[in-house]
Structure 1
């Protein structure tokens, strides 16, 4: 029965995703697809049918968190005021998410297609769509250099998150590195 297969497929997808969320939370982006399949009670081919690439799995696992970050970007973009502060507040939240939720940085990482090429993953595309107005406003206000791209910002965030992911409490270190990146290395007068 085709209707029954669709229902089974939906149940398998939900079960695989729930198991994958737990595995990625504990093992990070390199969580075993075979272990996910075993724990979900499906074959590895079923996992691959629903998630043909590791990136597809990481995107699905990160979907709710990405949606929350996008909503926050839209909220900040709708507020009047300092464009730089709005951008930095949002980027700080993205850093905190990436540092505290294993696998999210890997979901945002560049695919190596080039420094300014469009990303072929939904997570980065969604963040860019939501965050671009914040960047554009900060550039328009003269608070951020015009040559700064959204890809630059995501690359910095991913680098910070990956550099701190094995620390016992990565979030404070990631936030410190982010603030250092924003402030630069020069002492303040």
Structure 2
């Protein structure tokens, strides 16, 4: 098992995608101080591999998924954050929240281009301001969550309340369903 070195995210922008570093730098000092970053092997960035290699729990790991909803030719985009032990309810809760006839995961190239982040590292911190941010209530309730840092070579560690305090964040009960 590899060890993690936790560092203040605001002081280590080299471990963050540029939009993530900018978002953290723009936060009030008290909030920014609650966010830590740790460098990880990019080959182990995927949630299950990361948790196994670094001895972290899937119960506190959250994945950010970019979803697009379409109705009448109008497409809206949302970053959705759900625990790794759950499955995002794209065709139910997310589709309804986006008031969409159809909801799908955004194409990888679109998500990467629009966020300025790496695939497999996309995080809700620093997403485009026009996007909605939907957080499963289980993530918002965590004392300490693990999420992407915008790059595959790092992870952010922060309280769920910090995620819930991000601009435009909407905490949603049952945004995701537990995986059996």
Q: Which has the higher helix share?
A: 1
Q: Which has the higher strand share?
A: 2
Same fold (TM over 0.5): no
Between the two structures, name the one with larger relative contact order (CA 8 Å, sep ≥ 6).
Answer: 2
- Structure number with greater Rg is 1
TM superposition score normalised by structure 1: 0.22
TM superposition score normalised by structure 2: 0.23
